[in-house]
Amino acid sequence: MTAPIQVGFRSERGPVLISLMLSTGLVAIDSTIIATAVPSIVRDLGGFAQFPWLFSVYLLAQAVSVPIYGKLADLFGRRPVMLFGIGLFFLGSVLCGFAWSMTALIAFRALQGLGAGAVQPMSLTIAGDLYSTAERGKVQGYLASVWAMSSVVGPTLGGVFSEYLTWRWIFFVNVPLCLIAAWMLTRHFHERVVRRTHTLDYAGAALLAVGCSRAARPGRGRRCPASRCSLSAPPWSSRSSSSSGAPPSPCCRCGYSVAGCS
């Protein structure tokens, strides 16, 4: 008879699983929590034309850094890379909470993305190292449930914080989660690292960063047919409504209605 599969919070590896779920939750919630707080952020910091970069730069930094962290994990082990990512995410969250302009907030969001680029893949890698093939299905279910809950909890928290407190708390809330995840990982996860000689593909990493940056650059595609595109009013403002009551056609460059572009 085969031994029963021991997966869950009460198992011997339960504290490590909890820390991995907390770490995954950092990345998952921060991908959605900012969406409902955008009006408050723009009202406080300005820079409405730049706010799409709050999402793009976070995902871009995460996508570019994942292969690099994977190589570093082979060199130095999973736990150091994971703790470095949590620390970087912690620093980015604190700086985002104290951001004084939209440009500064975008730069600090990139720092958050670099931290998330280590946290997300290392969570899956550590789970693969700890659990057998028969157990990984259940573990993946635990980790996937974090993303499902974050898709609901994230926007709700963003709306509550921006409405009743301040939008800065959508970043400050990451601080205790980072500390708890790092403490549990340090206390309960131990590994033996076999030192091997590796080389990092710096040219490939640079090309990946440049390629992703150009692909994510806003304003690509056809140009706006209007002579001048105004981004001072949102697309749902009265300027973008037509007198006939029919919804106006969207602007092909900025996403606003053509009626809203002058």
Per-residue pLDDT of 80-104, as tens digits, reads 888 999 999 999 999 999 999 888 9
Low-confidence winner among 65-74, 182-191, 249-258 (lowest mean pLDDT) = 249-258
**140 or 179, which is more confident:** 179
Q: Which position has the higher pLDDT, 220 or 70?
A: 70
Instruction: Express each pLDDT in 211-246 by its tens digit.
Output: 766 665 555 444 444 444 444 444 444 444 444 444
pTM of full prediction above 0.75: no
pLDDT in tens, 149-166: 888 888 888 888 888 888
**The pLDDT of residue 232:** 41
What is the predicted pLDDT for the residue at 108?
92
Q: What is the pLDDT of residues 171-194, one digit of tens each?
A: 998 899 899 988 988 888 877 766
CA distance 30 to 55: 10
For residue range 19-62, what is the model confidence (pLDDT) as tens digits? 888 888 888 888 888 888 888 888 888 888 887 888 888 888 88
What tokens appear for 95 in the block? 């700086």
How far apart are the C-alpha atoms of 196 and 214, rounded to whole Å?
35
- What's residue 252's pLDDT? 44
For residues 170 and 37, the answer to whether their CB atoms sit within 8 Å is yes
Mean pLDDT of the chain: 76
Q: For residue 255, name the pLDDT band (cuts at 50, 70, 90).
A: very low
pLDDT of residue 205: 64
pLDDT at 220: 47
